[in-house]
Structure formats: C-alpha cells, structure tokens
Amino acid sequence: MSNPLYYHEIELRVRYAETDQMGIVYYGNYAQYFEVGRVEWLRNFGISYKSMEEEGLMLPVISLSVKYKKPAHYDDLIKVKTQLVKLPSASIEFNYEITNESGEILTHGNTELVFMDVNRKRPTKCPKYLLDKLRN
C-alpha cells in the first residue's frame, strides 16, 4: 500500500513474563504483539478501541495466522510493523512483521477482524469516520 496512513510501526521491549524458561518469547504472545500494533495503528488516526466500544462497536478477531522465522528473547527490542491490507468493509485485515534490533524478520502474521454492533450482536459496516480518514 502506498498510502503511509495504512502503515504503522511501534517498538516494544520483550518482558520476562512473555518468555518461557529458555528466555524465548512464548508463541502465544505474538498475538498480543499484533494487538498492540492494531491498537496503535488506530490511535495513529486519533481513534481508540475504547471510544469505538463506547459507541457500541467491537472488533473481534475472526482469523489469525502466524509464521515464526526466528525467536525473540527476553529484553530484546522488537519492532511491530502493522499494515492495513485493503480498505475495510464489514471486516478489516492487517498484515504484521516483527523484527529485532538488527532488522531480522522474526515473525509474519495476519489478522482479520469484523466490525460488530454490540447491541444487535451482528456484523456491521466499517464506521464512516474511519473510512473517511483512510481515503484522505
């Protein structure tokens, strides 16, 4: 995607609690790193998950895939790169890449989330305010 608004990156330090006895990041924690990437991607637009939930909109994950290339270790500084795949409709899809301080790719991932109307408990369209920001 050429639009820089579709892309965001954030650095995180691997905490001890995120690792196993060998000091390697436990595989399930990568989904949490992806979530941090998504939340900060939205925040970059001035939108928060909290404000969306207060408006009656939730974003449950309906698909998650992860490809592990190399492990991250305790105290590593990692970069989570989050990229929107395409303009959202009733769902929104992101690709992720996690790299270490040397720029080595550790993990690739993808998530798809659906916009959910909390009151109706049904999928709904992407809110206009988000689409408007993405189209500018």
Asked whether 58 and 76 are in contact (CB, 8 A), the reply is no
The question of whether 117 is a catalytic residue gets the answer no
CATH dotted code for 7-134: 3.10.129.10
Q: Which residue has the tokens 């993990």?
A: 107
Predicted pLDDT at 4: 61
Which position among 20, 75, 117, 132 bears the catalytic label? 20
Judged by phi (left if over 0) then psi (alpha if -120 to 50, else beta), residue 126 lies in: beta
* Assigned token pair, 99: 């790299």
For the chain, the C-alpha Rg in angstroms (whole number) is: 16
- Average pLDDT, 10 consecutive residues per value, the chain (136 residues): 74 97 95 97 90 95 98 97 95 97 98 97 94 86
For 51, 72, 111, 130, the CA distances from 26, given in Å and listed in that order, are: 31, 9, 19, 33
Predicted pLDDT at 133: 86
